[in-house]
Amino acid sequence: MDSENTRLTSAQGDQYTGPSDGEASATNQPAFSHEYDGSSRTMDDGSRWWSVPKRYLVALMAFLGFANIYALRVNLSVAIVSMTSNKTRIINGTRVGQVLAAFFYGYIISQLPGGFLSNRFGGKWFYGGGILLTAVLTLLTPAFTNWSIYLLIAARVLEGLFEGVTYPAIHAIWAKWAPPQEKTKLATFAFSGAYFGTVISMTVSGALAESSSGWPSIFYVFGCIALLWFVLWSIFVTENPAGHPGISNAELEYIQQSIGYTEEQTKRIHPPWLRMLSSVPVWAIVVAHFAENWGFYTWLTELPTFMKHVLKVDLTRGGFYAALPYLLMCIIVQTGGILADTLRCRFGIATGTVRKLFTCGAFAIQAIFMVAAGYVMTKAAAITCLTIAVGIGGFAWSGFSVNHLDVAPQFASILMGLSNTFATLPGIISPALTGAVVTDQDSAGQWQIIFYLAAGIYAVGAIVFGIFASGDRQQWADIPMGYQPYMGDPERE
């Protein structure tokens, strides 16, 4: 399939020439005659003005899903400060690194299997089920903690195992739900939920830890919220557009014609493993994903500790300040996705150029402010530098994190599983390395080494992605048969 001009053939024999990603909205005109304008009060199939497009509903539920994923993941980083304090000493300080790293041992195992299974069987239940099982284990965490440190570590490994399928699974959903012209803003809006969840978790967890209910309430509150989300996800989201009972025929045709294929046309296509694993653009994504996650995971697990010992911020305020970078990241991920699609579709900038601009630019800024954070002399300046250094990474997510859908949309879940496998390594290596380097948690000089290391990894990521990344569908990801339109009206069946 030619990446610049995709020729699609309907079941009746008519031919449709679909635009490339960058061409779809170059003239600010609808890509298809039946596509509706979100600002109009009616659609050409008679739907009401207030009928929300179902792909946006999927994006909202995925946003809330990622919020739960990260709330369940990071609450321990705040809770463990109370669990190791002199007043409520539950975990020995020497075990902290093992407990924090345990999640990632399970997380790294399920990435590729999750991508393959989601590609083959669909992403809805892998995404939802992963969050459900993590929520159950979260509710049991206080009991595990009191019974045995080894039970707690085992529970965190299992939580990582279950959450590991979620990122690959969501790409399997977007491969069927996201039109190419909107894939960046839909995917990044969903991803931004991770940082929203981080902000809520860090802020609320600090308050809950200081409350009369103590640190166990952190796990009870967020576990129950995740259970409620799973119920809503099960009700409102379907595996593909054709299976949604409330989708309009106009939206269904718009999605399927834009994507250029249906689930039926791709479910029997076997992944070209050798060509996929030898693809240079694929490995450029892997390197960029690793680089971004190194800085992200370093501060996800260590920022509360750094705030307390170096900046001398108390736990309640520390939770708020530690959440600031992720609040900024949440905002930037969302706006970056919209800006990226605007540059691609309205201004005709090549997809590959946009991906490199956002990823490499973000990495360069992150590296500068990461180093600066180690030398500023005031608390406010240090918090500002760290907030920018972490938060600006939101722009990178409009680059590498959506690039899987550019190079091989039907195999995007597998590619996400591959890149996230390597991107999970920082979660395992970084806490252990930080613990080995920072032997005195009050030493600003030892923390500077951590800053320099993160900045260097960002620089390598920017160079590799800038040289080797691509925004075009790769030849090994061609779909030769073309789009076969859905002939029935799902609203009448």
Q: Are 326 and 67 in contact (CB under 8 A)?
A: no
- The C-alpha angle with vertex 67 and arms to 371 and 392, in degrees rounded to 5, equals 25
Q: Are 252 and 490 in contact (CB under 8 A)?
A: yes
Q: Rounded to an integer, what is the distance from CA 362 to the centroid of its chain?
A: 16
**Nearest residue to 324 via CA among 346, 349, 348, 299:** 299
Ramachandran sector of residue 482 (left: φ over 0; alpha: ψ -120 to 50; beta: rest): left
Q: Give the whole-angstrom CA distance, residue 58 versus residue 251.
A: 13
Structure confidence by residue, pLDDT tens digits, 243-259: 888 888 888 888 888 88
Q: Give the whole-angstrom CA distance, residue 72 versus residue 346.
A: 38
Q: Are 394 and 330 in contact (CB under 8 A)?
A: yes
Q: What is the pLDDT of residue 400?
A: 94
CB atoms within 10 A of CB 341: 26
Question: Which amino acid is residue 350, in one-letter code?
Answer: A
**Nearest residue to 46 via CA among 378, 493, 492, 435:** 492
Q: Are 370 and 389 in contact (CB under 8 A)?
A: yes
Residue carrying structure tokens 């669909």: 122
Per DSSP, the three-state class of 42 is: coil
Q: Are 331 and 394 in contact (CB under 8 A)?
A: yes
Task: Locate 253 and state its tokens.
Answer: 């045709």
**Nearest residue to 56 via CA among 236, 249, 264:** 236
Phi then psi dihedrals of residue 395, to 5 deg? -65, -35
Rounded to two decimals, the pTM is 0.77
Q: Are 473 and 407 in contact (CB under 8 A)?
A: yes
Task: Locate 196 and state its tokens.
Answer: 């929203």
Q: Give the whole-angstrom CA distance, residue 265 versus residue 366.
A: 42
Q: 276-280 contacts: CB < 8 A, separation 24 or more?
A: 276/408, 276/411, 276/414, 276/415, 276/476, 277/418, 279/407, 279/474, 279/476, 280/468
Q: Give the whole-angstrom CA distance, residue 64 versus residue 218.
A: 18
Q: Give the whole-angstrom CA distance, residue 441 versus residue 145.
A: 25
Q: What is the pLDDT of residue 39?
A: 35
The pLDDT averaged over each successive group of 10 residues in the chain (493 residues) is 37 38 39 35 41 89 95 83 62 68 88 90 93 95 89 93 94 89 91 88 83 87 96 93 88 84 66 92 97 84 74 65 80 92 92 96 92 78 84 91 91 93 88 84 82 92 96 84 45 37
Q: What is the pLDDT of residue 472?
A: 92
Q: What is the pLDDT of residue 209?
A: 82
Q: Give the whole-angstrom CA distance, residue 309 versus residue 423.
A: 28
- The C-alpha angle with vertex 159 and arms to 190 and 122, in degrees rounded to 5, equals 50
The number of C-alpha atoms within 13 Å of 103 and in the hemisphere containing its C-beta is 27
Q: Give the whole-angstrom CA distance, residue 437 versus residue 433.
A: 6
